[in-house]
Structure 1
């Protein structure tokens, strides 16, 4: 068991927003990923650009970026952040290599500030996957969103971290 303390809980056990005013601003980045799997026909429909609701992947990218910017409205006790960059990369999963048809979403959030951007990257990846689901659900209600996770973070007092 780690000696790490939960930073959003005070000595009496009450939830609170962490005071970051004394922290030195540093460049901070976070990368998160998520996966959405689907029928092969659904993947082909999305890749062809023929989905009834329009360009699924472009819309998912925009939704992920917008979500990162609004994370503080969705997750209690998150600080509103002045993000300097958010990017969303969506790549088809390689069905030739034996994986299920679908997409891998990679979200990157960056700023110079006093607190990290992990939640913004995770929110962006999640919402991009949810947007793909929403825009293609008429063709495939059985799509599965999975494996949303932090892959890497840099900056701040705790330094750099990378998933193994």
Structure 2
């Protein structure tokens, strides 16, 4: 991958789902699951799940904008989760599962606003995706990293993560890593 990389921070519900998709995206050099958007320093998974820290489960993407644009990453984001459900994705309920984009620059904020406006015509309900400036990312515990690849037959992975990965593969076959 070329030396020019940018960072994107996206929360699309459970980070296992979002991470599994972006690990397959051509132009994305690294994906880390973690937490952002809250007030507790260095929160644990248990603290975030309790809903007391204010953090969202997110992925931190390093990507090469010469290979994939921030806009394309956002379009994938709005395809692989439901941005119309407040503080939930399917059976995952709580503020930690909110739909969120944490922008790193005025350019990312402007692009996110543009894509949200365009996606408002695609979804049947209003988009409730939080759009906030990025502050601090806390990497999730090691056992959360690359979770789907390590546990594809685990119940949640088989019934929730796998269909999202399959949807990405079918919808964005041109964006798959070779």
TM-score range, shorter chain: 0.3 to 0.5
Could you tell me the TM-score, scaled by structure 1's length? 0.36
Which has more strand, going by share of residues? 1
Flag the structure with more relative contact order, 1 or 2, with Cα contacts below 8 A and sequence separation at least 6: 1
Q: Which has the higher helix share?
A: 2
Structure number, greater radius of gyration: 1
